[in-house]
Chain A
């Protein structure tokens, strides 16, 4: 199998799994209990927190463990909105956020909040001038993703933070696709909240974290036993948290090497495809982009058919076509770039990982042209052209 869908999820690193295993049957204690047996679980949780803090360059106490990216995004947006609504009820986000941000913002609108959805340019960069114009006294939060999951475009978060802080507006960034892959330094970025997820960087599924800058109030999403200093109740997912901590430690070690290896492979894949397939182009920013992501539109055909044909060849990729999302509309991200519907339906996303090899990349370049040619031979648009 050739797995090129690492933005969807990654394989858990065996070293990560090895660290997690003792916390199921041996050190299964509840970290909140008082006896000694519980102290080893508590220590494991706090060691993981320290490890993640090192990766993000923040204080350990500024990190709250969650069930993943979606929960972290929900906590940040709802939490800030509810805690600061007396100051204003305006939120700014962008049109290309993940649904775990967009649908939360739509929900806030139902509750009476006003939300501005910033446009992006053809590369997927948010419109900074529009951001400046949209900020007002009532704007309590801006939520802009660090790296886009579909096209990989990296937003100028530092600049966005400067502008928003000048207006006393907090900044949250959904960094789910960035953490563990590229250097993410919360002190340097200046963000107030940041979401991350373990399974995007070789950790287990079902665990993530929210960075919450010291001293900024937010309303917790989960109320209960007061875990995580009252910021997220629920007995800690000890094995998962240990896995996240180990994934963070490994990422810190290997991130630079990973980039050096994966970027040329991604470039080889993208240029190989664009060279052999006519009427195709890549999406996302040419340079300000995640080094593992390649999003390609292949005109006159639809994405699902390509994916299924790739699957017949043992290749896993994804598409922004409507058919793969269960709705009639293609990817909201590609539409926000200004692509017409029929072109957006023909998108393909390859996201490489640390196990991707040159041989695998070459196999995709080899099999894709005949797949495309076959589907185009069936397409009335290709004929019409």
Chain B
């Protein structure tokens, strides 16, 4: 953990990868609470159980935006099962660490992805019925 933002956090904040809405996503995860100042939407495209694309939209602080973006990079190309193994610590590590009071942002990113995969699986189950 770090006391202030790492250069990598600033870099992701300035040039966020995979920012924006996905057209016809296979799953969407909406997590967070405006009251606490962080809301994250995570979109995924899935083919043969592999995440082929992942994007985000985030209302929140610098850390929230950077962690959203780092998450999308981490899980792209991973199988759903492998993506579910990505933890908030992996996201924080990808950014060279986060200040302790910002660790909840990385947790939100992890939850955002889980919620998107859950949404995908729900849709899949509904389509089968």
| Chain B residues within an 8 Å CB radius of A377 | 19-20
- When the two chains form the complex, which single residue of B19, B41, B61 contacts A321, counting CB atoms closer than 8 Å? B61
Q: Which B residues have a C-beta under 8 Å from some C-beta of A?
A: 10, 13-14, 16, 19-21, 30, 34-41, 57-65, 101-102
| Chain B residues within an 8 Å CB radius of A345 | 34, 37
- Give the complex CA separation of A278 and B69 in angstroms: 27
- When the two chains form the complex, which single residue of A323, A330, A380 contacts B39, counting CB atoms closer than 8 Å? A380
- Give the complex CA separation of A233 and B91 in angstroms: 52
- Give the complex CA separation of A341 and B65 in angstroms: 19
| Chain B residues within an 8 Å CB radius of A379 | 57-59
**Chain A, interface SS category:** helix
Check A308–B21 contact: CB distance below 8 A.
Answer: no
Check B13–A302 contact: CB distance below 8 A.
Answer: no
Check A383–B37 contact: CB distance below 8 A.
Answer: no
- Give the complex CA separation of A300 and B57 in angstroms: 12
| Chain A residues within an 8 Å CB radius of B38 | 302
Some 10 contacts from A to B, beta carbons below 8 A apart, are: A302-B64, A305-B62, A321-B37, A328-B37, A341-B36, A342-B59, A377-B20, A378-B16, A381-B39, A383-B57
- When the two chains form the complex, which single residue of B36, B41, B62 contacts A328, counting CB atoms closer than 8 Å? B36
- Give the complex CA separation of A330 and B38 in angstroms: 12
| Chain A residues within an 8 Å CB radius of B61 | 302, 304-305, 321, 323
- Give the complex CA separation of A321 and B101 in angstroms: 14
Check B14–A380 contact: CB distance below 8 A.
Answer: no
6 smallest beta-carbon distances between A and B, as pairs? A342-B34, A323-B61, A304-B61, A341-B35, A380-B57, A345-B37
What residue of chain A has the Cβ atom nearest to residue B35's Cβ? Answer: A341
- When the two chains form the complex, which single residue of B13, B19, B34, B40 contacts A305, counting CB atoms closer than 8 Å? B13
Q: Which of B13, B59, B64 has the most chain A CB atoms closer than 10 A to its own CB?
A: B59
Contacts A308-B10, A323-B61; A380 near B41 (Cβ below 8 A): yes
Check B14–A305 contact: CB distance below 8 A.
Answer: no
A312 within 8 Å of B by Cβ?
Answer: yes
Q: Smallest Cβ distance from B112 to chain A, in angstroms?
A: 11
**Chain B, interface SS category:** mixed
| Chain B residues within an 8 Å CB radius of A323 | 37, 60-63, 102
Check B65–A378 contact: CB distance below 8 A.
Answer: yes
| Chain B residues within an 8 Å CB radius of A304 | 61-62
- Give the complex CA separation of A300 and B34 in angstroms: 10
Check B37–A308 contact: CB distance below 8 A.
Answer: no
Q: Which of B36, B37, B38, B61 has the most chain A CB atoms closer than 10 A to its own CB?
A: B37
Contacts A323-B61, A381-B59; A341 near B10 (Cβ below 8 A): no
Contact with B along A353-385 (1 / 0, CB 8 A): 000000000000000000000000111110100
A326 within 8 Å of B by Cβ?
Answer: yes
B-contacting residues, A333-355, CB 8 Å: 341-342, 345
A317 within 8 Å of B by Cβ?
Answer: no
Check A302–B60 contact: CB distance below 8 A.
Answer: yes
| Chain B residues within an 8 Å CB radius of A300 | 59
| Chain A residues within an 8 Å CB radius of B57 | 378-380, 383
Contacts A308-B10, A312-B14; A342 near B58 (Cβ below 8 A): no
| Chain A residues within an 8 Å CB radius of B39 | 380-381
Q: Smallest Cβ distance from B80 to chain A, in angstroms?
A: 23
| Chain B residues within an 8 Å CB radius of A321 | 37, 61
| Chain A residues within an 8 Å CB radius of B59 | 300-302, 342, 378-381
Q: Which of A312, A377, A380 has the most chain B CB atoms closer than 10 A to its own CB?
A: A380
Check B65–A305 contact: CB distance below 8 A.
Answer: yes
Q: Smallest Cβ distance from A256 to chain B, in angstroms?
A: 40
| Chain B residues within an 8 Å CB radius of A126 | none
